[in-house]
Amino acid sequence: MNEPTLVIDDDPSFNAILVRTLERRGHPAHGAHDPETALNLARETQAGKIVLDLNLNGSSGLALIPALLAINPDCRIVVLTGYASIATAVDAVKLGAVQYLAKPVEIEAILAAFEDDNGPDFDLPASDEPLSVDRLEWEHIQRVLNENDGNVSATARALKMHRRTLQRKLSKRPVRT
């Protein structure tokens, strides 16, 4: 029997679909929509595999990684996000995640990430062109947002930007490199 998988995502539909898909593939799974429930389920189930959303209702999912690893040091954590950035990918791996994947993601990619012992692939092809100003801004915002544990108001203050302006920027898809 496969070890249990814990899906931590604040989107109820995505969470339910991913739990159901994992179970259909023979992986017992449980879903949590908030950090408190996630930690309680992690303790109860001793989940060996965890799918963790980067943004949990406005707070950073990265903050959960140390607590999840304290509960089960052998668990394998895959971070999912709709707003990928290099800064948060590096932070996720430094904290103990085995992989960082951008949504939308196929179930095969998640399952492969759990099995891959090589870790994340940061060997990205180098571009001859520099990053656009928009992409540099996006990366900077993500880094500052992560430094403020996902707190939009604190991030807006640090960036000397109006909170609503920052929220608009965060609601958009990341700019291509």
**Least confident span in 15-29, 88-102, 126-140:** 126-140
| 105-152: pLDDT as tens digits | 889 999 998 887 655 554 444 445 555 677 677 777 877 877 787 788
In a domain, 124, yes or no: no
Q: How many domains, in total, are found in the chain?
A: 2
Q: Check: CB of residue 33 under 8 Å from CB of residue 75.
A: no
In a domain, 121, yes or no: no
Shared-domain flag, residues 144 and 99: no
In a domain, 151, yes or no: yes
pLDDT at 128: 53
Shared-domain flag, residues 103 and 72: yes
pLDDT at 127: 44
Q: Bigger pLDDT: 119 or 171? A: 171
pTM across the whole model:
0.69
Domain that holds residue 149: 133-171
In a domain, 126, yes or no: no
In a domain, 16, yes or no: yes
Cα distance from N-terminal residue to C-terminal residue, the chain? 42
Shared-domain flag, residues 34 and 89: yes
In a domain, 120, yes or no: no
Shared-domain flag, residues 99 and 15: yes
Shared-domain flag, residues 67 and 11: yes
Shared-domain flag, residues 107 and 32: yes
In a domain, 176, yes or no: no
Shared-domain flag, residues 102 and 155: no
Q: DSSP for 52-85? A: EESEETTEEGGGGHHHHHHH-TT-EEEEEESS--
pLDDT at 78: 94
In a domain, 15, yes or no: yes
Domain boundary residue, one of 67, 86, 115: 115
DSSP assigned state of 58: T
Rounded CA separation 118/127 (Å): 24
| Average pLDDT of span 1-5 | 80
Where residue 60 sits, what CATH number does that domain have?
3.40.50.2300
